[in-house]
């Protein structure tokens, strides 16, 4: 089938390449001419395992191409996926909808010129009610065009597999024709047994926010338990393992540590609270404010413990930070807990040197006060404390004995709970982690 994907950010580019890889003929659209130019040459603007190869393969096979023209998009296909950003508004916690609104306003006049039915499918994360509002707006200009909503559940770092082999497909539709069209687009996945949940627009919109809110709740729950463990001498890792064995609870997303960051979880829980308040139901989701507060508290706890570990003041201390990305497997630094902690410590007078295998270029642009290196021993040279803040697997391979020879004092805070405490301690390190008993 022929389809367009409007917006070549994370969701859009991954969707476009995966749809092309499945055999559809896809036109990717973005306002950013430089981005379109480099995409056409097979260069992805961010790091995502498997994306570059698929991009190049689908460009070569002719299943994918790019343009900046919405007029061309309207002529190219009857099905248009809208994948533009809905960031948090600068003045409030609500989602900023100006980009989705603009796509509808700019695309609709071109669709009006066409005869026949067409389908505009939103994939962006939006407050409930947006799809219906956009459907009205679209219908006023192009009465033969219809809206549908198809939320995206991909995780950065696993985006290709999450898109090609999703756990479920959720679509909000207003007609059986839209339902059938989306089933046809996703036919290979449906044949492979992927559940297809077809519902109305508000349910589809809310599923996405509810899913991210639930994931955020799991993370803050385990971090709250880690706080209790610290006070009560209990071990949060054993606790997570033990409660996670109950299939009603489940082990995923019970990894304690510095909490969640990124471009989705923090913004989505705030946007859901903001929308609930708008409709007079703030109290029903008040717990999500608490989830947010528990989350940001983990950053303050890490800073306080780091300060204690360097003797009570950061002034003139050298701090090594392992990890800058908001999570391993990604070069994304948006709302990165690691960088928030690094920047705060730098702001309190420490010299901070940060290592990250993928995210230093992105981080450097936003945090000019921090020093960055691609070499772990260099990041740790003469350090008074090492902070492990993003759980890249390679940090688990570090030889603690070798690193002890480089630092000024062998002291480490494992804020992600992925390092082998016994190994570090037996190599002479003072090893601390939240929610874990501290021997001696
Ligand atoms: C999240 C959701 O997992 C996706 O399903 C959703 O599609 C996406 O948001 C989105 O809305 O677009 P993502 O932001 O890529 O995906 O990252 P996650 O893997 O969910 O991790 C989010 C944050 O939580 C990271 O900072 C991670 O380090 C942290 N986390 C995750 C924990 O602290 N503990 C855990 O157990 C799991």
Q: From the alpha carbon of 155, which atom of ligand 1 is closest?
A: 15
Tell me, yes or no, whether 14 lies in a domain: yes
Tell me, yes or no, whether 182 lies in a domain: yes
Q: Are residues 217 and 122 in the same domain?
A: no
Tell me, yes or no, whether 304 lies in a domain: yes
Is the distance from CB of 6 to CB of 80 less than 8 angstroms? yes
For 33-64, how does the pLDDT look when each residue is reduced to its tens digit (9 = 90+)?
999 999 999 999 988 999 999 999 999 999 99
Burial level of 211, CB count in 10 A (0-12/13-18/19+)? middle
Mean pLDDT of 180-194: 97
Q: Are residues 224 and 357 in the same domain?
A: no
Q: How far apart are the CA of 339 and the centre of ligand 1, in A? A: 16
Q: Are residues 259 and 285 in the same domain?
A: yes
Tell me, yes or no, whether 440 lies in a domain: no
Q: How far apart are the CA of 155 and the centre of ligand 1, in A? A: 6
Name 266's Cβ contacts closer than 8 Å, sequence gap at least 6. 88, 216, 260, 292, 295, 335
For 388-435, how does the pLDDT look when each residue is reduced to its tens digit (9 = 90+)?
999 999 999 999 999 999 999 999 999 999 999 999 999 999 999 999
Tell me, yes or no, whether 122 lies in a domain: yes
User: Which CATH number fits the domain that encloses residue 139?
Assistant: 3.40.50.720
Tell me, yes or no, whether 164 lies in a domain: yes
Is the distance from CB of 359 to CB of 394 less than 8 angstroms? no
Q: Are residues 135 and 282 in the same domain?
A: no
Q: Are residues 182 and 91 in the same domain?
A: yes
Q: How far apart are the CA of 267 and the centre of ligand 1, in A? A: 12
**Quick check: 115 pLDDT over 90?**
no
Q: Are residues 354 and 386 in the same domain?
A: yes
Q: Are residues 310 and 384 in the same domain?
A: yes
| Ligand 1 lined by 156 (C-beta under 6 Å) | yes
| Ligand 1 lined by 262 (C-beta under 6 Å) | yes
Active site residues: 264
List the beta bridge partners of residue 282: none
| Nearest CA residue ID for atom 18, ligand 1 | 155
Q: How far apart are CA 189 and CA 197, in angstroms?
A: 13
| Nearest CA residue ID for atom 24, ligand 1 | 260
Q: Are residues 306 and 231 in the same domain?
A: no
Tell me, yes or no, whether 438 lies in a domain: no
| Nearest CA residue ID for atom 6, ligand 1 | 153
Q: How far apart are the CA of 131 and the centre of ligand 1, in A? A: 24
Q: How far apart are CA 75 and CA 73, in angstroms?
A: 5
Q: Are residues 162 and 281 in the same domain?
A: no
Q: Which domain holds residue 6?
A: 2-199
From 199, 217, 234, give the residue that closes a domain. 199
From 271, 292, 313, give the residue that closes a domain. 292
| Nearest CA residue ID for atom 35, ligand 1 | 253
Q: How far apart are CA 360 and CA 356, in angstroms?
A: 6
From 165, 199, 233, give the residue that closes a domain. 199
Mean pLDDT of 235-263: 97
Q: Are residues 175 and 319 in the same domain?
A: no
pTM recorded for the entire structure: 0.95
| Nearest CA residue ID for atom 11, ligand 1 | 264
With the most atoms of ligand 1 within 8 angstroms of its CB, the residue from 18, 152, 219 to mutate is 219
Tell me, yes or no, whether 439 lies in a domain: no
Count of domains forming the chain: 3
| Nearest CA residue ID for atom 28, ligand 1 | 327
Q: Are residues 195 and 215 in the same domain?
A: no
| Nearest CA residue ID for atom 22, ligand 1 | 260
Q: How far apart are the CA of 27 and the centre of ligand 1, in A? A: 29
pLDDT confidence bin for 357, thresholds 50/70/90: very high
With the most atoms of ligand 1 within 8 angstroms of its CB, the residue from 170, 264, 388, 392 to mutate is 264
pLDDT confidence bin for 440, thresholds 50/70/90: low
Torsion of CA 330, 209, 389, 349, to 10 degrees: 110
Q: How far apart are the CA of 171 and the centre of ligand 1, in A? A: 22
Please report the pLDDT score of residue 193 as a whole number.
97
Q: How far apart are the CA of 239 and the centre of ligand 1, in A? A: 21
For 94-104, how does the pLDDT look when each residue is reduced to its tens digit (9 = 90+)?
889 999 999 99
ipTM: 0.98
| Ligand 1 lined by 219 (C-beta under 6 Å) | yes
For 362-399, how does the pLDDT look when each residue is reduced to its tens digit (9 = 90+)?
999 899 899 999 999 999 999 999 999 999 999 999 99
Mean pLDDT of 97-114: 95
Residue 2 CA, chain-centre distance (Å), reads 28
| Ligand 1 lined by 57 (C-beta under 6 Å) | no
With the most atoms of ligand 1 within 8 angstroms of its CB, the residue from 158, 251, 262 to mutate is 262
Q: Are residues 317 and 259 in the same domain?
A: no
Q: How far apart are CA 414 and CA 108, in angstroms?
A: 52
**Quick check: 126 pLDDT over 80?**
yes
Please report the pLDDT score of residue 306 as a whole number.
98
* Longest Cα separation, the chain: 77
């Amino acid at each position: 089938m022929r389809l367009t994907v409007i917006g070549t950010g994370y969701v859009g580019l991954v969707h476009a390449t995966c749809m092309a890889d499945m055999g559809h003929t896809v036109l990717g659209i973005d306002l950013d001419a430089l981005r379109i130019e480099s995409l056409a040459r097979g260069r992805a603007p961010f790091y995502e395992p498997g994306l570059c190869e698929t991009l190049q393969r689908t460009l070569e096979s002719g299943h994918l191409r790019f343009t900046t023209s919405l007029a061309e998009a309207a002529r190219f296909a009857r099905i248009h996926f809208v994948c533009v950003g809905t960031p948090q508004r600068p003045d409030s916690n609500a989602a900023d909808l100006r980009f989705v609104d603009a796509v509808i306003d700019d695309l609709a006049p071109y669709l009006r010129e066409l005869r026949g039915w067409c389908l505009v499918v939103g994939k962006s994360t939006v407050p409930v009610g947006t799809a219906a509002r956009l459907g009205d707006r679209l219908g006023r200009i192009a009465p033969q065009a219809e809206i549908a909503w198809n939320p995206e559940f991909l995780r950065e770092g696993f985006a290709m597999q999450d898109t090609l082999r999703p756990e479920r497909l959720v679509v909000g539709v207003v007609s059986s024709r839209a339902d059938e069209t989306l089933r046809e687009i996703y036919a290979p996945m449906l044949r492979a047994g992927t559940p297809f949940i077809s519902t109305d627009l508000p349910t589809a919109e809310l599923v996405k926010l509810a899913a991210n809110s639930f994931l955020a709740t799991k993370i803050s729950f385990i971090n709250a338990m880690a706080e209790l463990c610290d006070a009560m001498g209990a071990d949060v890792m054993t606790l997570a393992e033990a409660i996670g064995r109950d299939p009603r609870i489940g082990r995923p997303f019970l990894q304690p540590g510095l909490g969640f960051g990124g471009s989705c979880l923090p913004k989505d829980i705030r946007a859901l609270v903001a929308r609930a308040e708008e409709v007079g139901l703030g109290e029903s989701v008040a717990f999500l404010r608490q989830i947010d507060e528990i989350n940001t508290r983990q950053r303050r706890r890490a800073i306080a413990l780091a300060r204690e570990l360097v003797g009570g003041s950061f002034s003139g201390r050298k701090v090594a930070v392992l990890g800058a990305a908001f999570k391993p497997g990604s070069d994304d630094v948006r709302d990165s807990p690691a960088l928030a902690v690094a920047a705060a410590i730098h702001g309190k007078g420490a010299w901070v040197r940060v290592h990250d295998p993928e995210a230093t270029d992105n981080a450097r642009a936003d945090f000019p006060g921090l020093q960055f290196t691609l070499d772990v021993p260099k990041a740790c040279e003469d350090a008074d404390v090492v902070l492990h803040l993003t759980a890249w697997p390679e940090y688990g391979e570090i030889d603690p004995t070798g690193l002890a020879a480089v630092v000024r004092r062998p002291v480490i805070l494992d804020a992600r709970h992925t390092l082998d405490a016994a190994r570090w301690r037996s190599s002479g390190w003072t090893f601390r982690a939240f929610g874990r008993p501290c021997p001696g």
